[in-house]
Structure 1
Amino acid sequence: MCADEGFVINVRKTRIMRAHRQQKLAGLVVNAGAQVPRSEYDALRALLFNCVRFGPDSQNMQGRSDFRSHLRGRIAWVGQTSTRRRDVLLALESRIDWAHG
């Protein structure tokens, strides 16, 4: 199949992933359907909650110049695979007081 299209499989990067294990491809868990790993969703949700509670400046540990856009990008990444998760994260993001950092 791959060879028919002119591709070569790199056997060093090939893994057998059984059904009972977390199957990841390009950073997404793909067992039942593509989805952001739960740990990454939970970490983003916690970050947003802490932004609401303590202010976004206290959570911008890497000193991003446009932290708001960074967070919205991460929310969009999660939202590509789950509208329910996206809506939860957007609701948290809407509660952040950006005026007072």
Structure 2
Amino acid sequence: MTAVVTDEGFRVHPAKTRIRGRGDRQQLAGLVVNEHPAVAREDYDRLRAVLHDAARHGTEAANREHADFAAYLRGRVAWVSHRHPGRAAKLHALLTAALAAAPPR
């Protein structure tokens, strides 16, 4: 495993390297890469829950820490949708509902 890395002029950091089998979650840079790159199910579920909360109670009530919460939501939905197009339609519908529930400024 390390031969290719060292041949390319890089070094392997042993504390950051783990060998994962088929049955384990193979994660790289925040994405699960077992079959194809995708956002972890927990991250998708958390985003869906935040969007649902924002659609029901408004973005102001759902916001916990972001100055521009609408932009944050748009960015997260775009990132997840890009990695998993099958989930995109549901997330975009929830995002539209959440932004519609936001009180006008």
Structure 1: gaps spanning 5 or more residues:
none
CA shift for structure 1 position 38: 0.4
Scaled by the length of structure 1, what TM-score is found?
0.90
For 2:7 and 2:18, how far apart are their aligned partners in 1?
Answer: 21
- Within a 5 Å distance, the mapping from 1:11-26 to structure 2 comes to 11-26=14-29
- Within a 5 Å distance, the mapping from 1:13-52 to structure 2 comes to 13-52=16-55
Structure 2: gaps spanning 5 or more residues:
none
Return the structure number with greater helix share: 2
- 1:78 aligned onto 2:80: yes
Over 4 Å off, 4+ runs: none
Residue in 2 aligned with 1:69? 71
**RMSD, matched Cα:** 1.4
For 1:83 and 1:38, how far apart are their aligned partners in 2?
Answer: 14
Scaled by the length of structure 2, what TM-score is found?
0.87
For 1:100 and 1:46, how far apart are their aligned partners in 2?
Answer: 23
**Secondary structure class of the residue paired with 1:2:** helix
Is the contact made by 2:26 and 2:33 (CA closer than 8 Å) also made in structure 1?
yes
CA shift for structure 1 position 100: 4.8
Question: How high is the sequence identity, in percent, across the aligned residues?
Answer: 40
**Secondary structure class of the residue paired with 1:95:** helix
Matched positions, count: 100
